[in-house]
Structure formats: structure tokens, C-alpha cells
Structure 1
Amino acid sequence: MTPDTCWSDLRDSAQALKPRHLSELLSDTRRFDALTFEHDGLLLDLSRQRLLPETLDQLVALAEACQLQQKINDLISGKPVNCTEGRAALHTALRTPAGKSLSLNGEDIVVGVQSTLAKMEALVTTLHSGQWRGYSGEAIDTVVNIGVGGSDLGPLMTCRALSDFKPKAAQGIELHFVSSMDGSQLSGLLSRLNPATTLFVLSSKSFTTIDTLANAATARQWLVDASSLDTEVILRHHFIGITAQPEKASEWGIPSQNQLLFWDWTGGRYSMWSAIGLPIAISIGMEGFRQLLDGAHSIDSHFHQAPLRENLPVLLALVGIWNINLLDIHAHAILPYDGRLAHLPAYLEQLEMESNGKSVRLDGSATQGHTCPVLWGEIGPNAQHAFYQLLHQGTESVMCDFIVPAKRYTDRGQELQQQHRLALANCLAQARVLALGDKALDDDSASAAPPWKRYRGNQPSTVILLDELTPYALGQLIAVYEHKVYTQAVIWGINPFDQWGVELGKKMATAMLDELDNPGLSGSLDCATSGLLQRINTLREQG
């Protein structure tokens, strides 16, 4: 069967299903069992999606027609799936256990990965033991991660999500994250930190990112001013550099013993599994970090080996394809019902929109339909008081992902366990009302309510249920979304691993710096930009 035939069959199915409300579909008592899938403690509930079990069969046929299994093999084996940059995308190798091998350009890259993990472990052990000393001889008790994009979002999200898993040795170390290029985060932070006991982790794949290097230069000068010591001494005691360009880190002044390597086949938004995850390892220990890797590897193996019809990342991706391309739904809300996952929506925004926000196919032609939807989200209870009004009674169709652990506070008091029960109740109730609308009520009062109190329902949602939120489970969850993104890219025929739109913005911003200092330098700016530059420079001259 060709992709065109599959698309035609799916359009026919969508047309037939559009008039059917989710309340009707959910009246089938067999539906939950037919549309719920599980792997290694992670449950994917698709029963509130506006489709039938046979719709999944048609979607799997589309995936097969697009040669998805071969594309998965290509990804895992290190083929250059990032075709516009001519390289592999081997974030899966970063969580491959020791003892296995994977050759890339004649080199066993798993050996290199394990070597970096060993160096990470040595650095973490030195910090946790109090043996990493600042310029005054005092033990480091504060770590500031300086990065942007994937060098910030992944470590920040994970450290917050796994804050319950700090080992005793890590509890005396305060951890901060700085990413804003305007200096606002760093300025407020430096005013209350002790320079003698602060270590900066400078994370930049290229070691040319202006945002990151500007913050790093400010931090370096702060230390020099506080200590009156040579820059070389300061860098040796107070900076770790993480990069794919070690020679550039050395030029900046970070000694090799303070450098951690990652590779150009690791995309920034897939880099938390690499040395970029050093803040995670500092926060939860290397044992916890390895559990995170193990959870992701569990999903890697499942994605590679499980039949497509039982494959969690594939099914999540195909349901997204159904909603976006067949039901014309182009908004996607990420709704975790656990406060520890507060930064997950922002992380997934980058993962999905930077990867699949593309309108050009691999062959250079324009895409024929929609690709990545607009993602946003918030912790569920906060979102209920912010934008659920739109979900329940607005004019937009929105697909939602509810993410919740079944268990929490099992070793704590009854009051905290009751609070988790409240979160579970709200999660399940909101998914139910979004699906059923007024029909969720057990009485006939809804039909008599005025129009402004009516709920139409029929908003599709997925529930992802974790047993518990642990390092292993979080590794699984993130890997599911990573492989979902790749699967959708295969179906759409786009490259999820480049980001040329981001690169253009960086290039233009660098050029604009010269314009700010020398207005009219290029003589080729549009009138809107020229007008703003003139106003800005007038205000700056006025002081």
C-alpha cells in the first residue's frame, strides 16, 4: 500500500468519525482495554481520542508505507538521518549501557560515552565530598549552570522534577540556572552568592553562543574582581566547560581537566543525556543519573524492537498525526498533574517545535499539510485556573496530554497522600469532562442549563500514567516524546534534527549589534527596524 492510498483511507475514516461524539465512543465498555498500551511501568491511555481501534490499524499502515521501521533502524544504527547537516543523531547512544558497542566512522562511540560518564562521576564525587575548593580554599557549595536552549531546559526540568531524589552528599550544594542574555538572572543571583564558594558550569556545544558567553564573561569578571587573582587561577577553580569544541573552551581559558566532551551527533535539545546533564548528576548523584539513562534506554529498545501496533512512541505519534492532519487540530496542551514537572511543558515545547516546526520536506519540496502544532502547557491545577476555560468552552479544538504518577508520598503522612489524591482526582475529572462535556453529569440538569453553562466536550486527550515519578520513569517519559517526534517527522518527510530558522535568528542578531553602535551602518534595513533603532539610540543618548 502506498502512502497516498493510506492517506486517502484515513481521510475517509475521519469524515465518517467526525459526527460521532466521544461520549458515544466511550459507551463501548471494551474501549479502554482496546486503546490502552503499557511498557515497563508506563501506561498510555488513548481511549479518549476521537478514533476507533481500527483507525490505529490504518495509521500503522501509513507508518509502514513510510518505511518507519527502516527509519528507526537508521536512527539507532547511526545512519546520517540528519541529512541537511550530513550527520547521525545518536542521542540513543548516550544511554547505551557499557559493554555494548556502536561503530561510527570506524570508532566505537559507546567507549567515548562511557569515558565521559566516568569523568563526570569523578567531578561529581569531588564536589559531593567537599574536595573541590574555590580560590580561598573553601569547599564549593554553589553551582551555577550557564547555558541556553537544550543546555538549560533539559537540566533545569530534570533537576526540578527529581528534587526528591537528592542523595545526602548533594544536599549541601545549591544549584542555579542562568540562561537569559540580558543579564537579569545573573545580576540578581551574583548579588547574593559567595564568589569564593561558587562554581560555574559553562555549557555550549559550539562554545560560540553569544548568550552563554556573555553570561560567562560577566561571571568570570565578578570572580576576578572579588578575588584580585589572575584569570587563569579563577578559571581553574571556578569553571567547568562542557562542549563539542574543546579547543574553543581552551581558548576561552578553561583547562582541559575541567572540560567535559560531547559530540556533534548530539543535538542540543537531545543533550541532557550527555555531559550537559552534569547539573543533573550533581543534583541526584551519578547513580540517579544512570537510572535516568536506563529508563531512556528501556524506551529506546522498545521503540526499536516492539511491533508498531504496540509501540508507545509510535502510537503517541500516530494519534498526533490523526489529530493534526485528519481532524484539523493544531493546538496541543501539555498538562502534568505533579508540581515537580512544572518545567516539562517548556522542555517539550522546544523538543517538538524546534524539531518539527518545518515546512520543507527532505527532498526540498514544500510540505502538503500541517506539521508540528503549537505546544504550550502548565501544571494541571494552575492551568485549570488559567486556560481550561478555553479548553472547555472556547472555539478552538485542542488535543491534551495529561501526565500523572499513580503513587506519591507513600512513605509520608496522610495529609500529603491526600493532596496527591486531589491531584489524581482533578486529572481524571478534567480528562473526563473534556471528553464527555455535559454528559459527564449523572443527572439531566445539564440539558436545562443556560447556554453559558453548557460544555460541549469532544476534546481529545491522552493520559500518560507513571507508576511513580522516579529517575528511571522520567527517563522513559522523555524518551517516549523524543521518539514520538522522530516518528512524526518520518511520516511528514521532514528532518527533525536541524534548526536553520534558529540559526538565521542568531546571525541577524549578531549583525544588529553593529547597527546599535553605528546606526545606518549597513544602509539596508527596513523602515520599521530603522525607526526603532533611531528611537532606541535617542533614548540611550539622553541617558
Structure 2
Amino acid sequence: MASSALISDTQQWKDLKAHVEDINKTHLRDLLSDDKRCQSMLVEFDDILLDYSRQQATPETIQKLFELAEAASLKEKIIRMYSGEHINSTENRSVLHVALRASRDAVIQSDGQNVVPEVWKVLDKIQEFSEQIRNGSWVGATGKALKDVVAIGIGGSFLGPLFVHTALQTDPEAVESARGRQLRFLANVDPIDVARNITGLNPETTLVVVVSKTFTTAETMLNARTLREWISSALGPSAVAKHMVAVSTNLTLVEKFGIDPKNAFAFWDWVGGRYSVCSAVGILPLSLQYGFSVIEKFLRGASSIDQHFYSQPFESNIPVLLGLLSIWNVTFLGYPARAILPYSQALEKFAPHIQQVSMESNGKGVSIDGVPLPFEAGEIDFGEPGTNGQHSFYQLIHQGRVIPCDFIGVVKSQQPVFLKGEVVSNHDELMSNYFAQSDALAYGKVHLSLHYSSKLYFR
């Protein structure tokens, strides 16, 4: 039977509701004049600096949010997740995307079994296969090396891998590793997306990766059949086995489709689709493009923040702080949206990825027990890289409506440019906008009485 108890019934929740009135009396400009407050709202980990001093909050607010997290048993829930308990009560499953990037010697259990060895078995298979493709020991049906990859998937099988691919395209090490190769992602069932993805490609040098856990996802399988026909028409039906591989758990349907089951890469039901970028869903196509050694660094970075999230006290825990501040903004202050503003073109696909990770997870009107919520939960995420967004929707944020903003800056550009005769470098010009926009939103002008919130990330 569903429990009627909700977090909004607790005294900690009521204390925060009462606290809103105090916050609304103070302009963010005045909060920022308190140096001690601002210093207390800086957290650093692994070259990531979080500055949340421009949030419409005081140290008292943060303490009350910590008390709310304690009332919600957040720490216990984190431990339960990492312990492999079936916290996905709807499907009665573990939620263990953290196991996908755990070190080889880690122990993370699901249903009494350590899943890490199975994860690394797949990673080792990906490394071996991607090296065979990249060094030319695995060739296509006509004996030509496979230089181009089209990954077919949708949702989490598309947005996460596309985000990472876009971020790596201008990284110097990744650029060198990917020289002479192409990676494209086909998601939309619209035939225009198919046309765009195969334009300029030669079936003789193309490998297709079909990503579908059940091998029944309608859009993905129609696109897979379309590219199977593209390959078969050019090279004959037998070429499919050399030019198509799968990321799936349904080996029967994989084989029926015409793909050798030996060329299927597994993942597990404890991997939610939106969190699957660190599984074969993302690691296979990314390793084919950049080499496994480059992508392994990405996995180590994800593992690092996993350990931070698990072990750090809430006061210095970046994911926890960001989550609590989102609850404060959406549920208590009543700001339904968040703008994600990366001042790095390499992160242009970050907002769409976060839209799915956040909004598909938190877009619920009921509690985990199915009880209707008497408050708003989840935020509307949107965004665009700076400075592009400044010439698009910033005016509404500056003068029209209060929208909390996450500004993300990068200390060193992937592709620095220094022009003779210019006062500053291109990247310094970019970062001048980063700081100027966040300050303009925070401080405003004297004749305006609006409050603005922003979180700054600096790496």
C-alpha cells in the first residue's frame, strides 16, 4: 500500500516555506556584499570550482536545506543506491550506473552478485573490437578499412553519447586520435535524419552500431532496417555481418536481424537509458572514434565525481548542493525554469543531455509511492552556449522574468587563439562575457527590484 507521508509534511519543509518571506525581503545585491557569506559558498573538487554565492540564499537557507535532506534520509538513500538495493521500485531494479565507471577492483553488488567484473568484461571487449576496427585488422565486406561510424539510437542512447562526442571533437588529444574518422548519430525516425547521416558516406567504409536494449524500439529499428537496406543494396545481404554491430541484451532478435551475436555488446537492466552513456551505449561508438584510451579518461572522471558524491559531507558535496539549490529555486521560490549557459562551444549539447537526465527523471507529479504531490517538483531546463544565448533569450532573463542560471566557464580553451594586435585572446573575450553577464544578472540596476540567481562553475 502506498504511504501518504510526504516530505512536505515535515517540520523542516515548513521551516523552509516560512524562510521564503525573509529571503524575499533581501536583494541579491545586498547578499553579495557579505564577504563571509560569499566565501562560505565556494566548493572545489578535482579542478571544479562551484560558486553559488549568486543564489538567492543565505547560510541559514543552506542549513535548512541540509536539514530537509536529513529529514528525507538522503544519505541513507545514496548508500542504498550504491549498495545495489532495488530503489527503482516501479521496475523492482537496482540503479547502478555508478558501476559502469567503477575501477576494476571495485565491489558493487546487485542481487548478491558483484557486477563490476561483468562491466569490465564488456569494456575489455569494446577495447579489443575498437582497436581491431581502428588498426584495420577488421575490414568491411570488400576488404576496405571501416573509417566511418553511424550510431543508431534514441533518447539516452543518443543524447549522452552525442554530448560527449561534441565535447571531444575539439580536444587536441581526441582530435589526433580521431584523425581520418567520422562518427555520426542517427536518432529521428524522420527520413531527413537518415539522409543527413549517410550523405557523403561510402557503405564500403561504414560501420553501423545499432543501440537498443530490447531490439524492439520502434524508431531505432526502423532506422536500423533503413541502413541495413543501404548496405545490402550496395554490397549484398551478406555484408551486414561485417558492417553492422549491436548494443543490446536481446541476442535472439540481434541474430534474426542479421547481426552476428558475437558482435553484440551487453548492458544491463540496472542501467537507466538516460544514464547509459558510460555503458556500451556510449563507450562503443566513442571508442571507435577516439580510441579506448581517450574514453577511459572520461570514465575515470565520472568515477571521480561518483566517489565525491558518495563520500563527501553535504556541506562540500557539489551534486548534493546543486540538487538542493534546484529544489529551493523551483519548489520554494517558485522559479520553474533553469537556464544552462556553458561558455564553451564544446558543451553545446550539454543542455539537451541534462534536459533528459533531469526532466525525464524528475518530471513526475507523484511521489515514489504514487501519492500526488501538493507542490511543484522538477525544473524546466533549457540553454545555449554563451555568447550565442546573449543574442537570443538573455533579454527576458535580464528584464522580463526571474530564471535561475547555471553559468559554466572553462579556464583554458581547447583551441586557444591569440591574434596579433588584439588586446585580449579570443577565450579571454569569451570569459569577460561570462563574468559580466553573471554579475549583471546578480547585481542588476538600482531602479530594478528583481532578484536573479546564478551558479558559476569554473574549471
TM range (shorter): over 0.9
Aligned counterpart in structure 2 of residue 175 of structure 1, from 168, 183, 188: 183
Q: Does residue 1:434 correspond to 2:441, yes or no? A: yes
Cα distance in 2 between the residues matched to 1:411 and 1:360: 48
The reply to whether residue 461 of structure 1 matches residue 454 of structure 2 is yes
Q: For 1:116-515, what aligned pairs fall within 5 Å after superposition? A: 116-163=122-169, 164=171, 165-166=173-174, 168-227=176-235, 229=236, 231=237, 233-277=238-282, 278-394=284-400, 396-409=401-414, 413=418, 418-439=425-446, 456-466=449-459
Deviations 1:223-261 (A, max 9, x none): 11112x2x2x22211011001323322222211221100
Displacement, 1:206?
1.8
> In structure 2, what is the Cα distance between the partners aligned to 1:128 and 1:429?
45
Deviation at 1:3, TM superposition (A): 6.0
Instruction: Give the letter aligned to residue 90 of structure 1.
Output: L
Contact 1:392 1:456 in 2 (8 A): no
Q: Per the alignment, do residues 35 and 400 of structure 1 end up closer, same or farther by CA in structure 2, a change over 3 Å counting?
A: same
The 1:250/1:383 distance shift into structure 2, 3 A limit, reads same
CA contact (8 A) 2:82 2:108 kept: no
Q: Could you say which residue in structure 2 is the equivalent of 1:71?
A: 77
Q: Structure 1-normalised TM-score?
A: 0.80
Q: Please tell me the residue identity of whatever aligns with 2:164.
A: T
Matches of 2:27 and 2:33 in 1, distance apart?
A: 10
What does the per-residue CA deviation read over 1:49-104, in whole Å, with 9 as the maximum and x for residues that have no partner? 01101211110000001111100001111111110000011000001100122232
Q: Quick one: which amino acid aligns to residue 211 of structure 1?
A: E
1:481-506 Cα offsets, whole Å, 9 max, x none, are xxxxxxxxxxxxxxxxxxxxxxxxxx
Choose from 55, 58, 62 the match for 1:52: 58
Q: Is the 8 A contact 1:401 1:461 kept in 2?
A: yes
Runs of 4 or more, structure 1, over 6 Å off, are: none
**SS in structure 1 opposite 2:368?**
coil
**Equivalent residue number for residue 87 of structure 1:** 93
Distance 2:303 2:394 in 1: 35
Aligned pairs, how many? 448
The change in CA–CA distance for 1:167 and 1:2 in structure 2 (over 3 A counts) is closer
Cα deviation digits, residues 190-216 of structure 1 (max 9, x gap): 342111111101111221111111111
Measure the CA separation in 1 of the matches of 2:451 and 2:398. 9
Tell me if structure 2 keeps the 8 A contact 1:129–1:169. Answer: no
Q: Is the 8 A contact 2:417 2:426 kept in 1?
A: no
Quick one: which amino acid aligns to residue 337 of structure 1? Y
2:333 maps to a residue whose letter is L
| Contact 1:246/1:261 (<8 A) preserved | no
The percent of aligned pairs where both chains have the same amino acid is 38
- Measure the CA separation in 1 of the matches of 2:197 and 2:290: 22
- The residue type paired with residue 244 of structure 2 is F
Supply the RMSD in Å over aligned alpha carbons: 1.8
Between 1:271-280 and 1:401-410, the stretch displaced more is 401-410
Q: Secondary structure of 2:291's match?
A: helix
- SS of residue matched to 2:444: helix
Q: Distance in 2 between matches of 1:102 and 1:24?
A: 47
8 Å Cα contact 1:157/1:341 also seen in 2: yes
The 3-state SS of whatever aligns with 1:438 is coil
Q: Give the 3-state SS of the residue equivalent to 1:166 in structure 2.
A: helix
Deviations 1:360-404 (A, max 9, x none): 11222101200111111111211100000100111x221110111
Give the whole-Å Cα distance in 2 for the aligned partners of 1:26 and 1:190.
53
Q: Secondary structure at the match of 1:172?
A: coil
CA distance in 2, matches of 1:294, 1:245: 29
TM-score normalised to structure 2 length: 0.94
Residue 37 of structure 1, aligned match among 38, 43, 51: 43
Instruction: Find the aligned partners of 2:223 and 2:239 in 1 and give their Cα distance.
Output: 16
The answer for the alignment partner of 1:481 in structure 2 is none
Task: Give the unaligned 5+ runs of structure 2.
Answer: 1-6
Which residue is 1:473 aligned to?
A: none
Letter in 1 for 2:40: A
Spell out, residue by residue over 1:269-293, the C-alpha distance to the aligned partner (whole angstroms, 9 max, x if none): 1000000111222233211211111
1:160 Cα shift? 0.8
Paired residue secondary structure (2:425): helix
Find the aligned partners of 2:200 and 2:290 in 1 and give their Cα distance: 24
Quote the Cα distance in structure 1 between the aligned partners of 2:113 and 2:269.
14
SS at match of 2:265: strand
- Which of the pair has more CA radius of gyration? 1
- 2:30 pairs with 1:24: yes
Is 2:189–2:222's contact at 8 Å kept on the other side of the alignment? yes
The answer to whether the 8 Å contact 2:185/2:197 transfers is: no
Cα distance change, pair 411–332 in 1 and its aligned pair in 2 (3 A): closer
Identify the residue that residue 4 of structure 2 maps to in structure 1. none
Cα offset for 1:348? Answer: 0.5
* Mapped contact 1:434–1:457 kept (Cα < 8 A): no
* Cα separation, 2, equivalents of 1:383 and 1:267: 31
Gap runs ≥5 in structure 1: 440-446, 448-454, 467-543
For the pair 1:7 / 2:13, whether they are aligned, the reply is yes
Q: Is the Cα contact below 8 Å between 1:438 and 1:457 reproduced in 2?
A: no
Distance 1:240 1:465 in 2: 39
